[in-house]
Chain A
Amino acid sequence: MKRLRLRLALAATFLIFGLQARAQNFDAAGSSEYLVKAGFIYNFAKLVEWPAATFTSPGEAIVIGVLGSDSFATTLERVVDGKKIELRPFTVKRLKSAKDSKDCACHMLFIASAESPHSDEVLQLLKGTSVLTIAETPGFSKQGGIINFVLEDSKVRFEVNVDAAKHAGLNISSRLLSLAKIVQTNVTAR
């Protein structure tokens, strides 16, 4: 009797699996949280100055890497599509793993919460580069990340680690800093 039940359960499982629809493109749109965060990231690009040597030409794209969330990447792509900061358009790159952050040639890198266990690794890999690191992980900026989103009462706020930005050679406008929570690298952080 038990065996029969098991067989029935397995049969039902396969039946349900068999109902799969054809693969379709995923039209991720993101939640409003991601939409708003995309808006912030656009603004960060506007209010942060990279070292002069970062871009070779005035029309070179600002490359934003996204780690850990395809749907955020899709949302961001839509938001920055056709937008330019001065002459620079945007390119959004989807990173598969933390290791990719090294060779991504990104100017900005967003680490979604799903990849938060690897944020440390990313920061290690990006040490000494001028990548604006952005995450949504509690403690990220104290760990040496530059900008970290936090939700407060369902509103998006952000922390900035000014020292980390300086180390990366980034100049963050005072307007951006005036809205941010200023955070310092925790001395115990590796």
Chain B
Amino acid sequence: MSPISNNPPKNLRERSQTGPRHERYMNTRRKRHRRQAVRSFIGILLTTAILSAQDIPDVTQISLEDLMNVRVTSVSKREQKLGDAPAAVFVITQDDIRRSAARTIPEALRMAPGIEVARIDENKWAISARGFNGRFANKLLVLIDGRSVYTPLFSGVYWNVQDTLLEDVDRIEIIRGPGATLWGANAVNGVINIITKEASNTQNGIITADAGNELQASGGARFGGKIGNSTYYRAYSKYFKWNPSTDAAGNKAYDGWAATRGGFRVDGTSSPDDSYTLQGDIYRGSYDETLTQPAFAAPYYSTFQNNGNFSGGNLLGRWNHAFSKSKTSVQFYSDRTVTAANRLLIDHQSIYDIDFQHDIRIAEGNEFIWGLGYRSTQDRIVPSNVVSLNPNRRRWDLFSGFTQDEFGLFGERLHVTVGSKFEHNAFTGVEIQPNARVAWTMNPKHSAWASISRAVRTPARTEEDMRLNAAVMPPSQATLGLPLVAAVLGNHNFKAENMIAYEAGYRVHPTRTFSADVATFYNSYSNLLSAEPQSPFLEVTPSPVHLTMPLLAGNKMNGATYGAELFGEWKATSKWKVSGSYSLLRMNIRRNKDSMDISSSDPAGASPRHQFYFRSSLDLPKKFEQDVTLRYVDALHGLAVPSYYSLDARIGWKPTSNIEFSLAGQNLFDDRHLEFSPDFINTWPTQVKRTFRATVTWKF
């Protein structure tokens, strides 16, 4: 037995970081129709609005030198990918990030429909897709440049550890719904791919600095260069320090956050058929929290200020080779992280992962891919009286393989993708995760897709081996005069959680300036985690003698979720773009009839039923930019978190092409609001304040 909570990232790819499987997933139909509208901003060329289809600017009148200075919006971005993938896909581009008020990855994710992002305190986040949100949300797979950052300890993400220089992010691709066939177990409700630029696209230098009332100070620097003819590199470093936020009464909280990191990336071609990437990061940081923990002596809990820190590093290499009718890639990475919530738990974790993939073009319009992967995970836990794992150290393996075939029917109007992942994990053995997807392009303006897929979430190490003393009740007659400890226990018989997802979507692109899509889903879950009470027993350690009520991890919850996400974008003029989204989520999760679970709360209470998002991006005269975002998040009834609106605004100014100033304000509507309340580990939630910051970016 041994746990594996995540699975190989499937992001191998030639030249850049999105794997061929990934690429295929994202743009199944790229060959036939590139469907982009004229992007609204065409540099110096298009100072006048493009109002009709006939009204294309006369680029033949522009000199080559000027053409070379035009900043273009890339073809391979949102429209094209969205237009073709048989899945609910959304792309956050570098420009979206730059023009938002976001300075962290979680903040940037708020732009995506169907994603729930809630800040618990300054350094903690609850992020999920299509329900089941929490600090330890475990149904979302997150990758940075093909490296999984999903921790096997609790099957979630340490969001306070993940970061990079945001200016180097090329795009964030978000898939709502299962991606298990390509990405493997735990890509249940969604996959987030954070993709940085290739080194050849970051050949200049950048220095950025921010200061504000909450983001006290932040600075980053990057430079790039070239070795020989065909090898590009860049290196970056970054530092930030967030001031503490406030508690509900407006008093200063204890939730500061600071980190330093640095990294590099090298991309090169060693022959026309071979390309490689080598990249790595190191980081170190600290964070504060106020923690309430159960205690074995009166008053049976203690509240204290806990200081945590984290450090680690990773190294990834990828090699792509093209044959005449096929392509292969091999990717290897290692990732070591130490996260120390000092008085609670210290987790040392090392992961080694290797992946191979082979894409074969069997015939025109028929592409077959297969791949193999292996991952070794090793951890060492320093326990506390509250959380412990047995054994303290563990190493476990994951073997995986997948096949997928994609072919066109009826003159390629209908595109079918079928495939399956097969993997063997140390906890639950073999898991099979098939999917079938169909995309139908009725004409270049209308397309529809539908899919059926199965995904599993394999057990986390905690679900196998943990003991969490969740609460201690004072002695009473009912407890024979002894303190009663409620202990959540891992279970070696814990099975994988299952989901069958039925999805369908429709995309429409009626004019060059307007596009919209809708995605709907019905997810049916079984074997979800429950906490099954067992017979109480006496324990003598730690003293005093106490009665322990075990709550054993079980698989006795089931149910379904359904909902829809709508997204629309209108490029009103070449200088003004508006977009909006609405997300609906209904959850109906219940205990099995034979479950004795009395403690698990209804997950529906931790996810908003309605969310909407509206954004306006306007280019003003004299090189000013104005961006406004309005967000609504419905109440979280299970956590007593009221609904809220949040208004963010940004003004940017680029007096020259090298320098950019911006001022941004967040949560301009209210002084402060609560967004979430923690689960499992009782850290004090803090308020999200009205914040301001100023940023300067200098390129050289």
If A27-B512, A29-B512, A115-B31 touch, whether A155 touches B70 (CB-CB below 8 Å) is yes
Min Cβ gap A94→B in Å is: 11
A100 to B322, CA, bound (A): 23
Asked if B440 lies at the interface with its beta carbon under 8 angstroms from chain A, I say yes
Is the pair B65, A32 in contact by a Cβ cutoff of 8 Å? no
Is the pair A29, B38 in contact by a Cβ cutoff of 8 Å? yes
Residue of A with least CB distance to B27: A114
Asked if A52 lies at the interface with its beta carbon under 8 angstroms from chain B, I say no
Is the pair B34, A28 in contact by a Cβ cutoff of 8 Å? yes
22 A-B Cβ contacts within 8 A?
A5-B502, A6-B452, A6-B502, A30-B36, A31-B36, A31-B39, A31-B79, A33-B75, A35-B72, A36-B59, A36-B70, A39-B59, A40-B64, A71-B34, A75-B56, A83-B60, A112-B34, A120-B324, A121-B324, A138-B269, A156-B67, A183-B229
Asked if A65 lies at the interface with its beta carbon under 8 angstroms from chain B, I say no
Q: Quick check: which of A11-19, A56-64, A102-110, A163-171 contacts chain B, the rest being far away?
A: A11-19
A162 to B36, CA, bound (A): 33
Using a Cβ cutoff of 8 Å, how many contacts connect chains A and B?
Answer: 199
If A5-B524, A151-B201, A188-B271 touch, whether A32 touches B67 (CB-CB below 8 Å) is no
In-complex Cβ contact of B72 among A6, A19, A154 (8 A): A154
A32 to B67, CA, bound (A): 11
Residue of A with least CB distance to B67: A39
A23 to B446, CA, bound (A): 8
Is the pair B72, A156 in contact by a Cβ cutoff of 8 Å? yes
B residues near A43, Cβ cutoff 8 Å = 60, 64, 67
Number of A positions contacting B (CB below 8 A) = 68
In-complex Cβ contact of B269 among A13, A34, A139, A153 (8 A): A139
If A142-B272, A156-B72 touch, whether A20 touches B442 (CB-CB below 8 Å) is yes
State which residues 271-308 of B face A: CB under 8 Å: 271-273, 275
Q: Which 5 A-B pairs have the closest CB atoms?
A: A39-B59, A26-B444, A9-B502, A33-B72, A32-B42
Asked if B594 lies at the interface with its beta carbon under 8 angstroms from chain A, I say no
Is the pair A31, B504 in contact by a Cβ cutoff of 8 Å? no
If A29-B37, A117-B361, A179-B65 touch, whether A23 touches B443 (CB-CB below 8 Å) is yes
Is the pair B36, A29 in contact by a Cβ cutoff of 8 Å? yes
A150 to B45, CA, bound (A): 20
Question: Which residues on A are within 8 Å of B, measured CB to CB?
Answer: 2, 5-6, 8-9, 12-13, 16-17, 19-24, 26-36, 38-40, 42-43, 68-72, 75, 78-80, 83, 97, 112-115, 117, 120-121, 138-139, 142-143, 150-157, 175-176, 179, 183, 186, 188-189
- Kindly supply a per-residue 1/0 record for chain B positions 431-463, scoring 1 wherever the CB is within 8 Å of any chain A CB and 0 otherwise: 000000000101111101010100000000000
Is the pair A188, B272 in contact by a Cβ cutoff of 8 Å? yes
Is the pair B502, A153 in contact by a Cβ cutoff of 8 Å? no
Min Cβ gap A190→B in Å is: 8
Among B203, B230, B361, max chain A CB count under 10 A is at: B230
B residues near A188, Cβ cutoff 8 Å = 271-272
If A112-B34, A114-B30, A142-B272 touch, whether A153 touches B202 (CB-CB below 8 Å) is yes
Min Cβ gap A22→B in Å is: 8
B residues near A80, Cβ cutoff 8 Å = 60
In-complex Cβ contact of B57 among A19, A35, A157 (8 A): A35
State which residues 23-69 of B face A: CB under 8 Å: 30-39, 41-43, 45-46, 50, 53-54, 56-60, 62, 64-65, 67-69
Is the pair A153, B75 in contact by a Cβ cutoff of 8 Å? no
B residues near A150, Cβ cutoff 8 Å = 200
Min Cβ gap B387→A in Å is: 38
If A24-B443, A26-B33 touch, whether A33 touches B74 (CB-CB below 8 Å) is yes
Min Cβ gap B39→A in Å is: 5
In-complex Cβ contact of A31 among B38, B64, B202, B275 (8 A): B38
Is the pair A138, B36 in contact by a Cβ cutoff of 8 Å? no
A43 to B49, CA, bound (A): 24
Is the pair B75, A34 in contact by a Cβ cutoff of 8 Å? yes
A23 to B443, CA, bound (A): 5
Min Cβ gap A182→B in Å is: 10
B residues near A35, Cβ cutoff 8 Å = 38, 42, 45, 56-57, 59, 72
Is the pair A32, B201 in contact by a Cβ cutoff of 8 Å? no
Asked if B15 lies at the interface with its beta carbon under 8 angstroms from chain A, I say yes
A138 to B229, CA, bound (A): 13
A162 to B249, CA, bound (A): 71
Known: A23-B443, A35-B45. 7 other contacts (CB 8 A): A12-B520, A21-B508, A39-B67, A68-B31, A80-B60, A152-B201, A179-B64
A156 to B30, CA, bound (A): 21
Number of B positions contacting A (CB below 8 A) = 75
Residue of A with least CB distance to B446: A21
Residue of B with least CB distance to A117: B361
Asked if B623 lies at the interface with its beta carbon under 8 angstroms from chain A, I say no
A residues near B72, Cβ cutoff 8 Å = 31-33, 35-36, 151, 154-156
B residues near A83, Cβ cutoff 8 Å = 60
Is the pair A28, B269 in contact by a Cβ cutoff of 8 Å? no
Is the pair B64, A71 in contact by a Cβ cutoff of 8 Å? no
If A35-B57, A150-B200 touch, whether A155 touches B35 (CB-CB below 8 Å) is no
A residues near B73, Cβ cutoff 8 Å = 31-33, 154
Among A70, A78, A138, A183, max chain B CB count under 10 A is at: A138
A16 to B520, CA, bound (A): 11
A residues near B444, Cβ cutoff 8 Å = 24, 26, 28
B residues near A79, Cβ cutoff 8 Å = 56, 58-60
Residue of A with least CB distance to B505: A16
Is the pair A72, B446 in contact by a Cβ cutoff of 8 Å? no
If A12-B520, A31-B39, A32-B70 touch, whether A70 touches B32 (CB-CB below 8 Å) is yes
In-complex Cβ contact of A138 among B15, B42, B502 (8 A): B15
Min Cβ gap B435→A in Å is: 13
A residues near B229, Cβ cutoff 8 Å = 183
A34 to B73, CA, bound (A): 9
Residue of A with least CB distance to B79: A31
If A97-B364, A120-B324 touch, whether A12 touches B443 (CB-CB below 8 Å) is no
B residues near A8, Cβ cutoff 8 Å = 522
Is the pair A70, B34 in contact by a Cβ cutoff of 8 Å? yes
A residues near B450, Cβ cutoff 8 Å = 9, 13, 16-17
Asked if B506 lies at the interface with its beta carbon under 8 angstroms from chain A, I say yes
Residue of A with least CB distance to B34: A71
If A21-B446, A71-B34, A78-B56 touch, whether A31 touches B68 (CB-CB below 8 Å) is no
State which residues 65-103 of B face A: CB under 8 Å: 65, 67-77, 79
Min Cβ gap B292→A in Å is: 42
B residues near A42, Cβ cutoff 8 Å = 59-60
In-complex Cβ contact of B68 among A6, A143, A156 (8 A): A156
Is the pair A29, B53 in contact by a Cβ cutoff of 8 Å? yes
A9 to B502, CA, bound (A): 6
Is the pair B75, A113 in contact by a Cβ cutoff of 8 Å? yes
Residue of A with least CB distance to B444: A26
If A17-B448, A36-B72 touch, whether A69 touches B201 (CB-CB below 8 Å) is no
B residues near A26, Cβ cutoff 8 Å = 33, 35, 443-445
A152 to B70, CA, bound (A): 11
- Kindly supply a per-residue 1/0 record for chain B positions 500-522, scoring 1 wherever the CB is within 8 Å of any chain A CB and 0 otherwise: 10101010100110000000101
Is the pair B502, A16 in contact by a Cβ cutoff of 8 Å? no
A17 to B448, CA, bound (A): 7
Min Cβ gap B102→A in Å is: 20
A121 to B72, CA, bound (A): 29
Asked if B204 lies at the interface with its beta carbon under 8 angstroms from chain A, I say yes
A residues near B230, Cβ cutoff 8 Å = 142
